Amino acid sequence: MYKTDDFKNNRPNVGVTVVVFKYEEGVIKTKVYKRNEQSEVFPNFIALPNTFYDITIHNNLEEAAKHALRFKTNIDIPFFEQLETFSGSYIDPDRINTVNISYIAIINESDITEVTIENKNFEDNWLEVEYLINNVDMAFNHKEVLISAYNRLKSKAEYTPIACHLLGNFFSIKELKELTEILINDKLDNSRFRDRIKKSDMLLEVEGAYKKGANRPAQLYSLNHLYSGFFYPKSLTKPN
Amino acid sequence: MYKTDDFKNNRPNVGVTVVVFKYEEGVIKTKVYKRNEQSEVFPNFIALPNTFYDITIHNNLEEAAKHALRFKTNIDIPFFEQLETFSGSYIDPDRINTVNISYIAIINESDITEVTIENKNFEDNWLEVEYLINNVDMAFNHKEVLISAYNRLKSKAEYTPIACHLLGNFFSIKELKELTEILINDKLDNSRFRDRIKKSDMLLEVEGAYKKGANRPAQLYSLNHLYSGFFYPKSLTKPN
DNA sequence: GAAATAGTGTCTTTTAGACAATATCAC
DNA sequence: GTGATATTGTCTAAAAGACACTATTTC
């Protein structure tokens, strides 16, 4: 029966990386930090929240991923799922063959209460995703992970209610339509969009709640958490 | 700069598991083997093709996954993609916290030429997936991996041409329809099914090739490998 | 009332769905 | 011709798409 120190020269490093999205000021942002000047690899580089998977600390990868987020406990993360697993020597070229398991998470603004539980001097920041992808060098394979996560977000916006998670608990159909248009990079027809939403059970009308402005107030809705189907229900088989 | 033997007590075992599907005699089968009687864990259990990820042997996980298949080199695997990564002590309860990266592959019958390059005495077999899921205890978390892979196969059959890979290089629309019906567990309308296929560029007519029988011969088609879209092209945005 | 945005209605085109009709082979 | 299965056509209902129209608020 082998133990932890058998095969010690054969095991890769295992790490987790998390891409957390939020929606603010009309753009999609993600949380990054600047690596310490004294880091032995990628000093001063921008990096996604990450951690070494340490079996003396973590019971499983999800736990490690949430640990990497360093959010206060009990914070609500309305969307959290595994993304992709990367591997090879290219991830950490100066050290060791690495396996990187990535996660995608969504959080809405009001819920964010961060606590840095270690390494207090690093700078946490929420930066625009498009800006990071186009203009910033990132540590390890984090650019690759970010692109993969952003693509998944955009593609899920086509056929699931994922965008709702970026909008918080209550939102108008107009807000959902605008955000969806950003994600799918296309214009949507008002009437059609509303029809589809009404015919699915995706959203629940919040009785008496309105978003007010210098115009007719907009009915607010919340995501029906019982709704597990697609936003666009048609595929090969019949709807529902 | 740390080396392989630093953190030796902190790293999990990393392994890969592959679910390979083929279609034969009207049912979906997957390749399994029976573990050796002398194995220190799960002796005599049925297992999916798997291997320990050893950084002194493998450059990356895909390489390890293909190694686990033990197929002769240069064999054509028309579909191969990463599935899901599992982790925790439950995978290998008597040993060490384990990270398991799973893959899903499809192969068509004529291409299968196996060579057992090690452990010559184990029994390789192709068994029916439904039978394995419902009636067989499997080693490690392999039942969970198999179910996940089978669900992905069935769900991809709804909106991608994945089923074509199970049918070989040439097949009739009838054959594709029948297999798809098995995978989605629903009947399809003949006329509609043909319309959709014709309107997408999913299949290419193979000039002059027919499947003959005691009836009107069926035109044979092959998968258009340039076609990367969905089988059912509609979603939120316009077709194409 | 004017401005602004929310929400609905109407008409045309496209796709879905059910099922009937025709085509082409072996025998 | 008969049997069998491949392939196409027809008709109705539903959904998509484009865009005009009405509604409700603030000022």
User: Is A135 in a helix, a strand, or coil?
Assistant: helix
* Percent with pLDDT over 90 in chain B: 54
pLDDT at B129 over 50: yes
Q: Do A14 and B13 touch (CB under 8 A)?
A: no
pTM greater than 0.85 (yes/no): yes
With beta carbons less than 8 A apart as the criterion, state whether B235 and A232 touch. yes
What's the rounded mean pLDDT across residues A197-211? Answer: 87
What's the rounded mean pLDDT across residues A24-39? Answer: 91
Closest partner residue to A54 (CB to CB) among B4, B10, B57 is B10
B191-236: pLDDT as tens digits: 999 998 988 888 998 988 888 877 888 999 999 988 877 776 555 6
A98-155: pLDDT as tens digits: 999 999 999 876 545 554 444 443 456 889 999 999 999 999 999 999 999 999 999 9
- Tell me which chain B residues have a C-beta less than 8 angstroms from the C-beta of A161: none
B34: β partners: B46
User: Is A89 in a helix, a strand, or coil?
Assistant: coil
Q: Do B40 and A1 touch (CB under 8 A)?
A: yes
Closest partner residue to A237 (CB to CB) among B2, B10, B184 is B184
**Amino acid identity at A176:** L
**Nearest 5°: CA angle at A141, between B103 and B83?**
15
* Percent with pLDDT over 70 in chain B: 85
The whole-angstrom separation of Cα B174 and Cα B172 is: 5
Q: Which alpha helices (DSSP H) does A116-207 contain, by range?
A: 129-135, 142-159, 163-166, 173-184, 190-199
A161-192: pLDDT as tens digits: 999 999 989 999 999 999 999 999 999 999 99
Q: Please, which pLDDT band fits residue A215 given cuts at 50, 70 and 90? A: confident
B residues 10-39 closer than 8 Å to A (CB): 10-14
pLDDT at B2 over 70: no
Q: Please, which pLDDT band fits residue B71 given cuts at 50, 70 and 90? A: confident
A4: nearest Cα among A54, A50, A61: A54
**Nearest 5°: CA angle at B191, between B78 and B199?**
55
Say whether residue B111 is in contact with chain A using an 8 A CB cutoff: no
A54-106: pLDDT as tens digits: 988 999 999 999 999 877 655 678 999 999 999 999 999 888 889 999 999 99
> In angstroms, how far is C1 C1' from A215 CA?
15
A14: nearest Cα among B96, B123, B104, B169: B96
Residue with nearest Cα to nucleotide C8 C1':
A191
Q: Which residue do the tokens 């077709």 mark? A: B239
